Amino acid sequence: MTTLLSRSSLSEALALPDLTDSRQQLHGMQLLIEEIHQKLSNTWRCKRQIIRSNPIVPLENNYDRLGYPADGAARDERYTRYVTDNLILRTQTSCAIPDLLSGLSVDPPSDLLLILPGLVYRRDSIDRLHCGEPHQIDLWRIVDNKNSKSMTTKDLNQMIATVMDAAIPELEWRTSTSPHPYTEQGVQIDALWNNEWIEVGECGLTAQPILDAANLKNHSGLAMGLGLDRLLMLRKNIPDIRLLRSQDKRIRCQLDDLGQYQPVSSMPAIYRDLSLCLNEITSEEDVGDKIRNHLKEWNCIESVVIKSETSYNDLPSTAHHRMGMTPNQKNILLQLVIRHMERTLTDSEANQIRNGVYKILHEGDRQELAIN
């Protein structure tokens, strides 16, 4: 039976401001989007259409009609937030594409760039590059083969180069093969930032079955999905994804443009290690989602790192007894990196956060809490 979002969790998710939408608030992310699609339009000399859609979508639009297998892991409630058995909070802005393409078949375009920015909703780990509600943009170019040649990997490479030059002009980037359900010749795009390769997007030639299903059999296309939070972080050299939503005046005043971010403080990180009993099928995404949903101070957590996992059978009986562990559980060693973005936390406050995480996650019969 599928676990559904509670009313409060759904309301909280839908109330989160969309930083891509100037009608909600001004943000540098909107300038980034404008630079990307403006440069593509100038390069291709094509028409543009910006689309914003409802974040609650039919399951089939998010997966089936985009070519995802019926038994794909992405559909699992560990990764997808279900509103009903058939409706979900979208995990990708491309979920609007099937209906859009079907609508285009009435008056097929000769050359059109579809631009779909917005929030998407996932169950994800917690660290400086991940959050449960990231911003994404889909860029789909649809071309009539009667008026132009079919799209090829040469066109795809031009698109990647144009977008990267617009979004992160000072950084090195690379591509690697990455199959994707609704593309052919799919690739992943990574950018080099502070000596680390960071994934920023995926793209490929539009899979012909997607176009055929929309009665656009004489068309070809390019499809690209980009992580806007990461691109903005790299462009401005922002060290932590949490800063993008900060309301601290010293930080907020720097988020309305694409200039380099100037750190306002350097708060010390506080580390806490936890030994926990969890159900043996619990994933890193489950851990992150439980913390976000149930810990009031979760925004003070910079990252959650699972350092090791050990099954019940590989532990001595003394460990079972100490943690109150049962055979259907595993022991994980978890490291919390705790850092408030605006002030230094006391040891007592850090221990309170540590204990909050422990109580949310630990499923053993015995507890080991930090004492203030």
**78 plus 202 within the same structural domain:** yes
In-domain check, residue 104:
yes
CATH number of the domain encompassing residue 135: 3.30.930.10
Convert the pLDDT of each residue in 27-44 to its tens digit.
999 999 999 999 999 999
Percent of the chain predicted with pLDDT > 70: 100
**Domain shared by 188 and 307, yes or no:** no
- The pLDDT tens digits of the residues spanning 118-171 come to 999 998 888 999 998 999 999 999 999 987 789 999 999 999 999 999 999 999
| Whether residue 116 has pLDDT greater than 90 | yes
Could you give the number of structural domains in the chain?
2
The CATH number linked to 302 is 3.30.70.380
Q: Which domain holds residue 186?
A: 7-243
Residues 85, 122 within the same domain: yes
Looking at the DSSP assignment, which residues form a beta bridge with residue 205? 184, 222
pTM: 0.89
Q: What is the pLDDT of residues 289-301, one digit of tens each?
A: 899 888 988 889 9
